[in-house]
Amino acid sequence: AYSGTDRNFYDRYFFNGYQPDGTEFFAVAFGVYPNLNIADAHFAVVRDGVEHCLHVSRVLNSERMELSCGPITIEVLEPLQKLKVTVAASEGISAELVFEGRTFPIEEPRFTRRNGPRAFMDYTRLTQNVRCTGWIEVDGKRVTLASGSVGTRDRSWGIRPIGAPDPQPAVPQTITGFFWQWTPLNFSDRSVFFHVNADADGTPWNTRAVILPDGAGEGGGYHSEHATMDDVTLIPGARHAQGGTLNIPLAQGSASVKFEPFLTFLMRGIGYGHPEWRHGGYKADLAVAREDIDLGATNMASPENWHIQALSRVTFSTPGEDPIKGMGVFEQLIAGPYRPYGL
């Protein structure tokens, strides 16, 4: 039951998925925090311009292997290949979803970062694009996922800030920035992944791009540490991109992915940066609550809304091949200064 000595150790499942026409987007998070003795889970779906969220928290009771939190349960049907998420009817929301991997998961480089002498994060993650089946019901309206629904799931573990803020920050205190982009993309016969953490001046400290054909095994596909996200323009008054182009160097020339974001999912809907339902926060022995966010009336410039996943239509172009179209996520979090974007 014990995970080292750092209070900030966590272990989290994440899932997202979307209809092939982009009309609905959903996401799930389930985390355990052994050294805080807390578990929490979140489910959220964007439907007709509203993000409907279900938040759950409970005491872990030092049992890390129980993959349920109130009405939200995860089942491993086939290790590293097929998982099921069930949301029992609660607060007008229910769902039953199965995620099946398109390839063996990729392992992202270990993320290690310090603020002065103190570990800010030290974690690793596996990521896997998936095909999704099942249904979601909100207030009596059940929608079945259409054939061709896809998404991404990941599993990460290690150290990240969780629970209550530290009452004694590291000194001397400085203004630090955090820049993050993550782009798991689904095409008909392949997946494309990219992520970057960068300093405030734009220098990457953790980055990788992967092109992975369907059915690829462990270690398969093309991996590069030199991809870049270029031509990014921000939405006026916000910290979110209204477009961009990912460039991946290949032996035959650069491949490119053009992003056209069209739907915004607030990550606070599954606990990331939420002012009341932060990951690892103590609520009660068991607490369940619903939240409905009108995305059209939300101030996207507010700090709790900086972290988003923008569902995007994407066009992948490779030298010597016809362009192919797909869909995926452009996850973004820019906190503090980031000089390349004038922030």
Taking only the tens place, the pLDDT of each residue in 149-169 is 999 999 999 999 999 988 888
Q: Using CA atoms, how far apart are residues 39 and 44, in angstroms rounded to an integer?
A: 17
Please return the burial class of 92, using the count of CB atoms within 10 Å of its CB with bins 0-12, 13-18 and 19+.
Answer: middle
User: Per-residue confidence at 31, pLDDT binned at 50, 70, 90?
Assistant: very high
- Residue 175 in this model has a pLDDT that exceeds 70: no
44: closest CA among 292, 341, 223, 320?
Answer: 292
In contact, 200 and 338? CB cutoff 8 Å: yes
334: closest CA among 232, 112, 181, 227?
Answer: 181
Tell how many helices (H) and how many strands (E) occur in the chain.
Answer: 0, 24
Token digits of residue 166: 């530290």
> Exposure string (b/e) for 251-263, b if CB count within 10 Å is 16 or more?
eeeebbbbbebeb
Q: Using CA atoms, how far apart are residues 327 and 119, in angstroms rounded to an integer?
A: 35
Q: Using CA atoms, how far apart are residues 88 and 91, in angstroms rounded to an integer?
A: 10
Q: Which pLDDT score, from 0 to 100, does residue 174 have? A: 73
Q: Which pLDDT score, from 0 to 100, does residue 342 have? A: 94
Q: Using CA atoms, how far apart are residues 284 and 288, in angstroms rounded to an integer?
A: 9
Q: Using CA atoms, how far apart are residues 39 and 61, in angstroms rounded to an integer?
A: 9
My answer on whether omega of the bond before 161 falls inside 30° of 0, hence cis, is no
Coil, strand or helix at 8: coil
Which of the pair, 327 or 166, is modelled with greater confidence?
327
Task: Please provide the DSSP assignment of 59-119 as one string.
Answer: E-TT-TT--EETTEEEEEEETTTEEEEEEEEETTEEEEEEEEESSSPEEPPPEEEEETTEE
DSSP code of residue 23 = S
This prediction's pTM: 0.97
Q: Which residue type is seen at 67?
A: L
Coil, strand or helix at 237: coil
Q: Which pLDDT score, from 0 to 100, does residue 173 have? A: 78
8: closest CA among 109, 182, 156?
Answer: 156
Q: Using CA atoms, how far apart are residues 142 and 31, in angstroms rounded to an integer?
A: 27
Instruction: Using alpha carbons, list the distances in angstroms from residue 246 to 71, 163, 182, 193, 194.
Output: 39, 34, 11, 10, 8
Q: Using CA atoms, how far apart are residues 16 and 132, in angstroms rounded to an integer?
A: 9
In contact, 18 and 44? CB cutoff 8 Å: no
Question: How long is the chain?
Answer: 343
Average pLDDT over residues 96-113: 97
Average pLDDT over residues 182-189: 98
Contacts of residue 270, defined as CB under 8 A and 6 or more positions apart, other chains included, come to 14, 27, 28, 29, 42, 43, 44, 53
- Residue 224 in this model has a pLDDT that exceeds 90: yes
Q: Which pLDDT score, from 0 to 100, does residue 47 have? A: 98
User: Per-residue confidence at 59, pLDDT binned at 50, 70, 90?
Assistant: very high
User: Per-residue confidence at 1, pLDDT binned at 50, 70, 90?
Assistant: low
The per-residue pLDDT for range 60-104, each reduced to its tens digit, is: 999 999 999 999 999 999 999 999 999 999 999 999 999 999 999
- Least confident among 3-7, 45-49, 102-106, 286-290: 3-7
- Residue 221 in this model has a pLDDT that exceeds 90: yes
Share of the chain above pLDDT 70, in %: 99
**Residue-averaged pLDDT of the chain:** 96
Q: Which pLDDT score, from 0 to 100, does residue 143 have? A: 98
